Structure 1
Amino acid sequence: MPNFLPINTILVPQGAEYKAVCRGLSGVTGSIPKVAAIPVGMKPLLKYLQASPENGQLMVPKSRVLIMGICGSLSDRYRVGDIVLYQDCIYQGNLLECDRTFTAQLHSCISEKVSLVKSLTSDRIIWSAAEKLRLGEILAADVVDMEGFTALEFFNAAKVSVAMLRVVSDDCQHDIPDLTPAINSDGSLNPFPLAMAMLRQPLAATRLIRGSLTALKMLEQVTNMLFSDNRLK
């Protein structure tokens, strides 16, 4: 196993994803990276990164930031619970690559459990199965999230190395509730619109909850696996 440069910070969307990563690190002995909860969505994330007092640590050239969380599948090749490692992110026809060396080193740690994928960043939740499949085909993207491209654009400008490791929480064969109205302008979730969206589509909501729980458990496990037994030391 090659020697790894340390991961300075793990960024994870706030809420359940952040808690899952923290649980994964809770039993790890020795030094672990700082874990920061980030807001959901492109604009809230950019505002957070620009204003965060912690950016002095994040913006040191040659430092390493690992972004973790869950994502949606745009391809029938990737199902709920699958671990994916991003090669790049696309947004409105623009493509940015994750750090190749950092990504390759992560892949070497968990190669038997992880797939290298191309990702799409969206400024809204892609909830329709038909749209997921259409976007996957048109853009040749495998998964979708709401933060990847923004993070890459911000950190690439500062010459900070970024890798992205996520777990699929919803497949491309079924609709999920449209939770976009439940996301506040600051990237937090508004409980009342969230509950209403779930109630309007109970079957889709049940499927989303089940898939999210599976993905969060896997996110916890892969976090623990990465940082246990000196894999990334």
Structure 2
Amino acid sequence: MPNFLPINTILVPQGAEYKAVCRGLSGITISIPTIVAIPVGMKPLLKYLQQAQFLTPKSRVLVMGICGSLSDRYTVGDIVLYQDCIYQEKQQECDRTFTAQLHSALSTQHSALNLVNSLTSDRVIWSAAEKRHLGKTLAADVVDMEGFTALEFFNAAEVSVAMLRIVSDDCQHNIPDLTPAINSDGSLNPFPLAIAMLRQPFAATRLIRGSLIALKVLEQVTNRLFSGNRLE
């Protein structure tokens, strides 16, 4: 078997993030993992995982996507590799060996590859002031809406998990509050999404610009990770 980084499945939020990962894997000639589009948000993801049939114990799952920064140290386009996730004073750790192997595989190409502590939220953290407050009080570097749920579920099932994300918005500027645009099933509702964007046009423009940068980096990192990087 080739000495490539062994990953069974990639989980990535549905929509633009999923498409970016798929683009990154297009043209790869070696065997690639199964790519699974997951719903956005903690409750929809948990329901989805409880019904999923694609994993077995001892599997290795890589969660990919974008995230928001809670610290001045991380800005749009930065690559972050999670060490752990917290939610309401609870903590779940990523698989240390798997994370170290990913770090080794990518660090030769990305000097700015960052190991971070993450916060998972059940709503969109849109206010820059709240981002900075959460970052300082919880000692978290980035925020997403799926990480803790995935780790809690897979750790209980003895499935090794690592998380690799790209920062799409910093902690210096507000973004539109997109929480009302997320349906109960974890999909995005286009009409509330458009309303939220129109209410804050400058914040919306900044979010779109940051997301496009992050998605491009996500595509590039995916490609480089599976286009022949070998472990020592």
Superposition TM-score tier, normalisation by shorter sequence: over 0.9
Cα distance in 1 between the residues matched to 2:26 and 2:37: 16
Q: Does 1:24 align with 2:20?
A: no
8 Å Cα contact 1:11-1:35 kept in structure 2: yes
Report deviation, 1:27: 1.8
Q: Distance in 2 between matches of 1:78 and 1:230?
A: 25
Structure 1 residue 118 displacement after superposition: 0.1
Measure the CA separation in 1 of the matches of 2:205 and 2:217. 19
Identity, % of aligned positions: 83
Aligned counterparts of 1:5 and 1:22: Cα–Cα separation in 2: 18
Are 1:47 and 2:43 matched, yes or no? no
Note if contact 2:84-2:91 (Cα within 8 Å) is conserved in structure 1: yes
- Determine helix, strand or coil for the equivalent of 1:198: helix
Q: Does 1:108 align with 2:107?
A: no
Q: Which residue of 2 aligns with 1:157?
A: 156
Q: Is the 8 A contact 2:85 2:119 kept in 1?
A: yes
- Is 1:211 the counterpart of 2:210? The answer is yes
State the Cα distance separating 1:114 from its structure 2 match: 1.0
Residues 44 and 186 of structure 2 are in contact (CA less than 8 Å); yes or no, is this contact kept in structure 1?
yes
How large is the Cα RMSD of the aligned pairs?
1.4
CA contact (8 A) 1:67 1:163 kept: yes
> In 2, are the aligned partners of 1:83 and 1:168 still within 8 Å (CA)?
yes
> Which aligned segments of 4 or more residues in structure 1 are displaced greater than 6 angstroms?
none
> What CA deviation, in whole Å up to 9, does each residue of 1:144-195 have, x standing for no partner?
0000000000000110000000000000000000000000000000000000
Instruction: Report what 2:222 is aligned to.
Output: 223
* Counterpart Cα distance in 1 of 2:112 and 2:221: 9
Pairwise CA distance, 1:26:
0.2
Residue 83 of structure 2 is aligned with which of 60, 66, 87?
A: 87
Question: Counterparts of 1:1-233 in structure 2 under 5 Å?
Answer: 3=3, 6-52=6-52, 55=53, 57-58=54-55, 60-111=56-107, 112-231=111-230
Work out the CA distance in 2 between the residues paired with 1:150 and 1:4.
28
What is the distance in 2 between the residues matched to 1:150 and 1:106? 21
Opposite residue 6 of structure 1, the aligned amino acid is P
In 1, the alpha carbon distance for the partners of 2:67 and 2:168 equals 6
Q: Which amino acid aligns with 2:48?
A: Y
Looking at structure 2, the residues matched to 3 and 32 of structure 1 have their Cα atoms a distance apart, in angstroms, of 13
Stretch of structure 1 that moved more, 106-115 or 128-137: 106-115
Q: Gapped runs of 5+ residues in structure 2?
A: none
Aligned partners of 1:89 and 1:30: how far apart in 2?
Answer: 31
Separation in 1 of the partners of 2:175 and 2:200? 8
State the shift of 1:113 in Å.
3.6
8 A Cα contact 1:85 1:115, kept in partner: yes
Gaps of 5+ in 1: none
SS at match of 2:58: coil
Report deviation, 1:30.
1.4
